[in-house]
Amino acid sequence: MACLNVAQKENLAAFCKAEQIHVLWDEEMKNHTSFKIGGPAKAVCVPKDREQLKKLVCFIRQQQLNVWYVGNGSNLLVSDEGLDGVVILLDAPFDGEIVVQNSILEAPAGKKLSAVCTAACTASLTGLEFAWGIPGSIGGAVYMNAGAYGGEMKDHLLWVEYLNRDGEVVRLEKEQLGLSYRHSCFMEKEYEGVCILRAAFLLEAKEKAAIQSEMDRVMAQRKEKQPLEYPSAGSTFKRPQGAFAAKLIDDCGLRGLTVGGAQVSTKHAGFVVNIGGATCQDVLDLTEKIKACVKEKTGYELELEVKVLP
């Protein structure tokens, strides 16, 4: 795929104007990630619905441009040099509203998990309380099978719709999604370049007060244990088999280790936080130090949970 040159930028501008697709030029990606890190993307396009998205994806494919899909940017670390291509931002208004029918809740990819959890609680449906407070969107949560406090997206997923590289909408049932710890089929090469559109969850009826009580408990636990006062991308490393990343890092005496503006949280060693002005390189250098130290002292090899772009 190609970078965005002057002629292609002009073509993209004309296309977006004709299709009434909002576009931001040379937009700092730190404005679109929870880490508050990332250089400028040549173009950030914000389609409002599936039809705009289909046309935009086809245009980008014809132009053979680099493309990245971003939701709430809560699990992303973007290069300091930025992204030389097109970012497609699926924000909260994309593709309509959350729909609840009986015990099934459908949500567009751009909806924040907080909004989805609230909708489930309002409808007296239980199953998504574990996600209360996760600062991500449905698309990203499905992509990585997000989880916390004993729950995962796969526990209640029913189906997922995505836009394939040919601009066609495809639905995959739960058993086709290849769901496991922090993994879905969308991470595999076969699905490279596709865009998650919508997901449905099969939930269970429960008294609203009990659901709200559990959500309050989960949020209180997050506030007590996680460094929510600093920008981060959540848990930095995946949980290695037979151990916990945070404990390994803590046992190696790395709590508080700092490179530039990036720091191993003094509150929770599983988080690398931006304590002020951190760059992508600061975070990468720090995570390499962590990985090397943990490998040397414990034998465990840590793997990043955070997705690095490009």
Q: Where are the domains of the chain?
A: 6-89, 99-212, 230-309
Domain 230-309 has CATH 3.90.78.10: yes
Hey, which CATH number is domain 99-212, 3.30.465.10, 3.90.850.10, 3.30.1490.190, 3.50.50.60? 3.30.465.10
**In the prediction, which pLDDT does 188 show?**
95
**In the prediction, which pLDDT does 231 show?**
97
The mean per-residue pLDDT over the stretch 91-108 comes to 94
**In the prediction, which pLDDT does 186 show?**
97
Active site residue 180: no
The residue from 106, 182, 198, 265 that is catalytic is: 182
The residue from 106, 129, 161, 305 that is catalytic is: 305
**In the prediction, which pLDDT does 166 show?**
87
- CATH architecture assigned to 6-89: 2-Layer Sandwich (3.30)
Residue 200 pLDDT level (bands cut at 50, 70, 90):
very high
CA distance 114 to 15: 34
Percentage of the chain surpassing pLDDT 70? Answer: 100
The mean per-residue pLDDT over the stretch 140-155 comes to 94
The per-residue pLDDT for range 269-286, each reduced to its tens digit, is 999 999 999 999 999 999
Active site residue 34: no
Active site residue 217: no
The pTM score is 0.93
Q: What's the one-letter identity of residue 7? A: A
Among 94-98, 236-240, 255-259, the minimum mean pLDDT is found in: 94-98
**In the prediction, which pLDDT does 176 show?**
97
